[in-house]
Structure 1
Amino acid sequence: MKDPRAGQKDAYGLILDAIDTGVYRPGDRLVESELADRFGVSRTPIREALQRLETQSMLTRDGRSLIVASLDHNQMADLYVVRTELEGLAARLAARHATSEEVRVLRDMVEEDRSLIGKPDAMSRANRRFHKQIHLASHNRYLVQQLDLVHRSMALLATTSLAAEGRGEEAIKEHDQIVSAIEAHDGDAAHKALSEHISKAFVTRLKIDADKVR
Structure 2
Amino acid sequence: MADSRIQQRDAYELILEAIDTGVYRPGDRLVESELAERFGVSRTPIREALQRLETQSLLRRDGRSLIVSSLDHSQLSELYVVRGELEGLAARLAARHATPEEVRVLRDMLEADHGLIGNPDAMSRANRRFHRQIHLASHNRFLIQQLDLVHRSMALLATTSISAEGRSQDTLREHAAIVTAIAAGDGDAAYLALRDHISNAYVTRLKLDARAAEAQG
TM-score (norm 1): 0.95
Q: Percent of counterpart pairs with the same letter?
A: 77
The residue identity in structure 1 corresponding to 2:58 is M
> What residue number does 1:162 align with?
162
* CA deviation map 1:51-103 (0-9, x unaligned): 11111100011121110000000000000000000000000000000000000
Partner of 2:185: 185
Displacement of 1:10 in angstroms is 1.3
Which amino acid in structure 2 is aligned with residue 32 of structure 1?
Answer: E
* 3-state DSSP of counterpart to 2:121: helix
Question: What are the equivalent positions in structure 2 for 1:21-40 lying under 5 Å apart?
Answer: 21-40=21-40
1:211 partner amino acid? R
Distance in 1 (CA, whole Å) between partners of 2:146 and 2:52 is 18
Aligned position for 1:93: 93
The question of 1:110 aligning with 2:110 is answered: yes
Shift of 1:21: 1.0
CA distance in 1, matches of 2:29, 2:122: 25
1:24 deviates by 0.7
Runs of 4+ displaced beyond 6 Å: none
Match of 2:70 in 1: 70
**For residues 120-199 of structure 1, what are the structure 2 equivalents within 5 Å?**
120-199=120-199
- The answer for unaligned runs of 5 or more in structure 1 is 1-5
Cα drift, residue 150 of structure 1: 0.2
Q: 1:9-48 counterparts in 2 under 5 A? A: 10-48=10-48
Distance in 1 (CA, whole Å) between partners of 2:130 and 2:52 is 28
TM-score by length of 2: 0.94
Q: Per-residue CA shift, 1:14-66, capped at 9, x if unaligned?
A: 11111111111111110011100111110000001101111110001112111
The 1-side partners of 2:94 and 2:213 are apart by 40
- Tell me the C-alpha RMSD between the 2 structures: 1.3
Q: Which structure carries more helix by proportion?
A: 2
SS in 2 for 1:54: helix
Structure 2, unmatched stretches of 5+, are 1-5
- Is 1:59 the counterpart of 2:35 in the alignment? no
Letter in 1 for 2:111: E
Paired position in structure 2 for 1:3:
none
For residues 211 and 165 of structure 1, the distance between their equivalents in structure 2, rounded to whole angstroms, comes to 13
Amino acid at match of 1:154: M
